[in-house]
Amino acid sequence: MSHGHSNPIEHPEVQMASRGSYLTGFIIASLLMLAATILVSGQVLAPFPLLLTIMGCAGLAAIAQIYFLLHIDISEHNIWNTVALVMFIPLFVITIGLTWWMFSQLYLRTMPMIPGMPGMH
């Protein structure tokens, strides 16, 4: 191996990992998933607010996983994680944004409106 024989435990990526953050991330993500499941299975809200709420849950869960499980942030000692984050943002906008646009245009033409959704006729 061309890299040294240094102890992998001393690498900054490994140093950043802690049992606490993994557990926190896991618990937050699980609670958000549970909340979304209860909301959907109990049909607590009208369809459109429900859609927005579970989307919000999914977004929070994604952020929690990125921060607590993957340790991706913008700190300086972790340059490759920052690169990954910079890469993630345009991809997120492209995949979710273009999908949203595409399906909203499709629904305008093909679907009956979802109850509670503003701006649809």
Question: Distance between alpha carbon 95 and the CA centroid of its chain, in Å?
Answer: 13
- Asked if 95 is part of the footprint of other proteins (rule: CB under 8 A), the reply reads yes
Cα-based distances in Å from 16 to 7, 77, 80 = 15, 10, 14
- Asked if 115 is part of the footprint of other proteins (rule: CB under 8 A), the reply reads no
The residue (of 16 and 50) whose beta carbon lies closer to other proteins is 50
Q: Which residue in 5, 42, 112, 118 binds other proteins (CB under 8 A)?
A: 5
Binding mask 24-43 for other proteins (x = CB under 8 A): --------------------
The residue (of 27 and 114) whose beta carbon lies closer to other proteins is 114
What is the phi-psi region of residue 116: left when phi exceeds 0, alpha when psi lies from -120 to 50, beta otherwise?
left
Q: Closest approach of Cβ 8 to other proteins, in Å?
A: 8
- The burial class, CB within 10 Å (0-12 / 13-18 / 19+), for 80 is exposed
Distance CA 55, CA 51 (A): 6
Q: Closest approach of Cβ 67 to other proteins, in Å?
A: 18
Nearest residue to 64 via CA among 98, 23, 105: 23
Q: Which residue in 34, 44, 87, 115 binds other proteins (CB under 8 A)?
A: 87
Q: Which residue in 23, 58, 105, 115 binds other proteins (CB under 8 A)?
A: 105
